A = this chain, B = another copy of it.
């Protein structure tokens, strides 16, 4: 039912130039997707780390002056915990092993991508809320403007940032729109009953969990009416974490939401849910089984294996083209049909 591109992975780490000569690209992953000037665009998350030196553990952060700073620990230090490749834990302090920025690539055919030649094409973290980088950007096109919701990471926590642009050369930064701990924010591309809506994924502590929530706004900057929409499900493929993919897709049956679910082994799969067109607080249907699981070699092994993670897709009639991160390392593509996804849902 899902046809992976035969060209997968379509973007590998070696296809992306590092931002500095002393950095290595560890991952080109989790792209936002949009159409602009007749081309297909991916807004990649580019995760970099310093060229590693024997005997040292080094990782980058953005300093108070806005420049990248390399922090360094001794490799043998008993206070360092590197058990999760994504993190550097030192005593009670947590850092990321890589620093991510966003990078644009474009394509005529949606398969072969290149760097753009008429815009800068790189977006870096700025300010105190983004010192550990910016990640996993969703792009929603609303009233002729592109709205980018992305993960802001810093010592202060993990929240959702918003920026917007019309020309992809000039950006307005709207600050943090959802406070920690929050990720996976996708804004609906049209108003419902006069209001903007978004999906997002706050995390509970003790009570609650990693669930998908729905919120409302009048201006896209300030959000309220937070409502819990979809839980994880015990004993299923999405038992530990769920999070929205890209902007929900309007279909005659309802808003189709592609979402990721992870189980207790952090295996990430893709499923779908359907929300009422007039009242998106109502979940009408949901996948019993994932429609896409990490089965290809490049999905099972990488920087963090057994992951298919989707935060961008293109709709063309009934055809849905999914661009997804595989194993937190590379970008892949796959095609499926919207009617096929709708037919496989379990209606409540």
Which positions in A face B, CB cutoff 8 Å? 87, 94, 96, 128-129, 132, 153-159, 174-182, 200, 202-209, 211, 213, 215-219, 221-228, 231
- Whole-angstrom CA separation of A129 from B213 in the bound complex: 12
CB distance from A86 to the nearest CB of B (A): 10
Closest 7 CB pairs of A and B: A157-B208, A156-B228, A222-B224, A157-B204, A222-B222, A176-B226, A179-B226
For the complex formed, measure the closest distance between the CB of A164 and the CB atoms of chain B, giving whole angstroms.
Answer: 13
How far is it, in angstroms, between the C-alpha of A217 and the C-alpha of B129 when the chains are bound? Answer: 19
B contact residues around A182 at 8 Å (CB): 179
The number of times this chain is found in the oligomer is: 2
> For A87, A132, A217, A221, which residue has the most chain B Cβ atoms within 10 angstroms?
A221
**B155 touching A226, Cβ below 8 Å:** no
- Complex CA gap A215/B204 in Å reads 20
Closest to A195 in B: B222
Q: Which residue of B lies closest to A89 (CB)?
A: B206
* A207 and B177 contacting across the interface, CB-CB below 8 Å: no
Q: Which residues of B contact A175 (CB under 8 A)?
A: 224-227
Interchain CA distance A181-B196 in the complex, whole Å: 23
A178 to B177, CA, bound (A): 11
A217: which B residues are within 8 A, CB to CB? 222
- Nearest CB in chain B: distance from A60 CB, A: 15
Residues in B with CB closer than 8 Å to A216 are 222
A-B contact pairs, 26 of them (CB 8 A): A154-B207, A156-B204, A156-B208, A156-B211, A156-B228, A157-B204, A157-B207, A157-B228, A158-B206, A159-B202, A175-B226, A175-B227, A177-B224, A179-B182, A179-B202, A179-B213, A180-B202, A180-B205, A181-B202, A181-B203, A181-B204, A181-B208, A205-B205, A219-B222, A222-B224, A223-B223
What does DSSP make chain A's interface, helix, strand, loop or mixed? strand
* Contacts A176-B227, A179-B202 given; does A218 touch B211 at CB 8 Å: no
| A87→B219 CA distance, assembly (Å) | 39
Q: Given the complex of chains A and B, what is the CA–CA distance between A209 and B219 in angstroms?
A: 29
Establish whether residues A224 and B181, one from each chain, have CB atoms under 8 Å apart when the complex forms.
no
**How far does the alpha carbon of A156 sit from the alpha carbon of B155 in the complex, in Å?**
26
Cβ of A207 and Cβ of B94 under 8 Å apart? yes
B208 and A158 within 8 A (CB): yes
If the complex has contacts A154-B207, A158-B204, A207-B153, are A225 and B176 also in contact, measured as CB distance less than 8 A? yes
List the B side residues contacting A207 at CB < 8 Å.
Answer: 94, 96, 132, 153-155, 157-158, 180
CB pair A215–B179 under 8 Å, yes or no, is: yes
Q: Are the C-beta atoms of B180 and A179 separated by less than 8 Å?
A: no
* Complex partner residue of A208 from B180, B215, B221, CB under 8 angstroms: B180
Please measure, in the bound complex, the distance between the C-alpha atom of A291 and the C-alpha atom of B314, giving whole angstroms: 58
**A155 to B207, alpha carbons, bound, how many Å?**
6
How far is B96's CA from A73's CA once the two chains are assembled, in angstroms? 42
Distance of A128 Cα from B182 Cα, bound (Å):
21
A233 to chain B, nearest CB (A): 13
